[in-house]
Amino acid sequence: MGTETTAPAVRVPTSQDLERWPVHPRPPVRDVALDLLRGLAMLILVVNHLGLPSWLSDATSTLLSAAETLVPISGVAVGMVFGRRWIQKGGRVVTGQLWARARKIYVAAAVLGVIVGVAQVVPGLATEVATRTRGGLELYEFDGPLQAVLALVVLEAGPWQTCILAFFVVTLLLAPVGLWALRAGHAWPLVGASLGVYVLGRALDVDVLPTQSERPFGLLVWQVLFFPALAVGFHRERIVAALRPVRRPLGALAVAVALAAVALQLGLAPASVLDWRATHFEKAALDPLRIVVMVSIAGGIYAILRRAGTHAERTLGWLLLPLGRNSFYVFLVHVPLSVALATGLAAAGAPAGFGPVVNSLLLAGVVGVLVLMVRHEVLFRWIPR
């Protein structure tokens, strides 16, 4: 008589299981299109922060805002990289890694603030391009040394070009809460909570941090670009798999929406629409229309870069990949380069430059210097990336 065996029961994963297993076990593959998009955002940031009137600055400022691109990219990257680590290594380890990254950004921002402050006493240096906002606000005027030290410690003082770094410090400190929620299967509650805080922040219009970043990048409002993107990065493979059957029409739709957003940016719309846009496109308050337009343009560019694949990497990679893969380094180094450029122009008796053509060449030259510094790893030992 044969022995009867019973096959082990096969358990069909539930929808809750799918929420709890969001990451494919394969090793992560670097998203070149995302690096290229980040590089484009850094290129726009550098050109616009240098502040020279030129054709290049006109083109970049019209196309896209760097901040509204970099914050979602940061959220997606944290969700992809640290989300996988959260599953593999546990929350305690990943929380320590995220907080260590936040500490590195904080220390670098504080040190840069001190360096720029000390540089003000050096004769001939045009440090006002970093210490005075374009609205005329002096960032290093304090009542006594104690207040100055406190301002440097809390990142209230510092070059205006890097004030968003304080926002990134805080979002990295809070990111473990978001990753915990995502690992527990609470993606939609996380996104809903982020939207609720955004609405509350717009209604209250209050500063919750003592940092310089609060006015242009208020935490309660701008976090809405980070935490939903964190969820997208965490569930990226599931989202890509779900959308794969409709990827072509979806990509075409993304590009079409992006083109419509670009047309709106260029003023190619009826006067009534442009008038309405003028009152519903504020950056500090992050008006919903601004989010839709900027995210649409960034999403359309990303779709094109993904579609182009290796062609985009070969054509644009030499310029955008060094900037995109070393964005923190570029963020820090472009401040002293802007001071050097302003000092040279002041010495030449032309603080506003030499017209749109020459100014465009000067801006391209600064970007070229940054790319070369990255390629030759200048001060990589001392400047974090």
User: Both tokens of residue 318?
Assistant: 């030499």
Encoded tokens for 51: 């502040």
Burial degree of 62 (CB within 10 A; 0-12, 13-18, 19+):
exposed
What is the SS3 string spanning the chain?
CCCCCCCCCCCCCCHHHHHHCCCCCCCCCCCHHHHHHHHHHHHHHHHHHHCCCCHHHHHHHHHCCHHHHHHHHHHHHHHHHHHHHHHHHCHHHHHHHHHHHHHHHHHHHHHHHHHHHHHCCCCCCCCHHHHECCCCCECCCCCCHHHHHHHHHCCCCCCHHHCHHHHHHHHHHHHHHHHHHHHCCCHHHHHHHHHHHHHHHHHHCCCCCCCHHHCCCCHHHHHHHCHHHHHHHHCHHHHHHHHHHHHHHHHHHHHHHHHHHHHHHCCCCCHHHHHHHHCCCCCCCCCHHHHHHHHHHHHHHHHHHHHHCHHHHHHHHHHHHHHHCCHHHHHHHHHHHHHHHHHHHHHCCCCCCCCHHHHHHHHHHHHHHHHHHHHCCCCCCCCCC
Distance CA 123, CA 20 (A): 60
Give how far Cα 98 sits from Cα of 36, 85, 172, Å.
24, 11, 6
Tens digit of pLDDT at every position of the chain (385 positions): 444 444 444 343 344 544 444 444 455 678 899 999 999 999 999 999 998 999 888 887 777 789 999 999 999 999 999 999 999 999 999 999 999 999 999 999 999 999 999 999 999 999 999 999 988 899 999 888 899 999 999 999 999 999 999 999 999 999 999 999 999 999 999 999 999 999 999 999 899 999 999 989 999 999 999 999 999 999 998 988 888 888 788 778 877 887 887 787 777 777 777 777 778 888 888 999 889 888 888 888 898 898 888 899 999 999 999 999 999 999 999 999 999 999 999 999 999 889 999 999 999 999 999 999 999 999 999 998 8
Question: In the prediction, which pLDDT does 2 show?
Answer: 45
Closest CA to 126 of 331, 328, 353, 359: 353
Nearest CA among 26, 21, 62, 17 for reference residue 44: 62
Structural tokens at position 94: 């990943």
Identify residue 60 by its one-letter amino acid code: T
Closest CA to 210 of 259, 157, 139: 157
At residue 1, the pLDDT reads 45
Are 300 and 292 in contact by the 8 Å Cβ rule? The answer is no
pTM: 0.89
225 touches 291 (CB < 8 A): yes
Q: Are 163 and 217 in contact (CB under 8 A)?
A: yes
